[in-house]
Amino acid sequence: MSSEEYSNRVLKQSNWNEVADIIYDDWQNLEENTNQKRIDLHKKWKGLRDYHTREKNKDSSVKSGSGATKKRKTPYLDMLHFLNVSRASNQTYGNISAEKSSDSSAILDENDSTDSVVNVSRPKKMTVFQEALINSMEKREKIQI
């Protein structure tokens, strides 16, 4: 990440205070343990984010031809689907160049079936936390402009 906001500690702390204000009803009235509660909230967020990453990596680490495994349906994984954008892997560069063959791509195009099924789903409702986070980011953008 090359954003200046990423390394701004004061901005990070104020953002976590905003999140804590949304999560904890009496955040403004708390004087004791505010730092500890913010740290606990940050740890919970990191745990959820790591859980999402682990579960998504389980799907991608299954070898081809292996038997299907039973998967439990967890509501938290569905709620954290917005993290898929931040998990997108960056393009990597190596010292070996890959050569593309135009013949193989033409053969693949001929073999593609036109009867592909497209799943259309409605967008999921945002949680209170997601709405507050987006509102906070929009306010910050308006202030900067």
- Tens-level pLDDT at each residue, the chain (145 residues): 457 777 888 988 888 888 888 888 777 777 767 777 878 888 988 988 888 888 877 777 777 777 777 777 677 777 777 777 655 555 666 677 655 555 555 555 555 555 556 667 777 787 888 888 888 888 888 887 7
- Asked whether residue 131 is domain-assigned, the answer is yes
Task: Please indicate, yes or no, if residue 97 is contained in any of the structural domains.
Answer: no
Q: How much is the pTM? A: 0.48
User: Closest by alpha carbon to 80, among 109, 104, 47, 113?
Assistant: 47
* CA torsion angle 101 103 106 112 (round to 10): -80
| Count of structural domains, the chain | 1
DSSP state of 116: -
Please count the CA atoms within 13 angstroms of the CA of 106 that sit on its side-chain side.
3
Which domain covers residue 14, as residue numbers?
1-60+75-84+123-145
Residue 58 CA to residue 80 CA, distance in Å, equals: 16
* Inside any domain, residue 116: no
Residue 108 lies in a domain: no
Half-sphere exposure of 11 (CA within 13 A, CB side): 9
What would you report as the CA-atom Rg of the chain, rounded to the nearest whole angstrom?
22
Structural domain contains residue 128: yes
Residue 139 in domain: yes
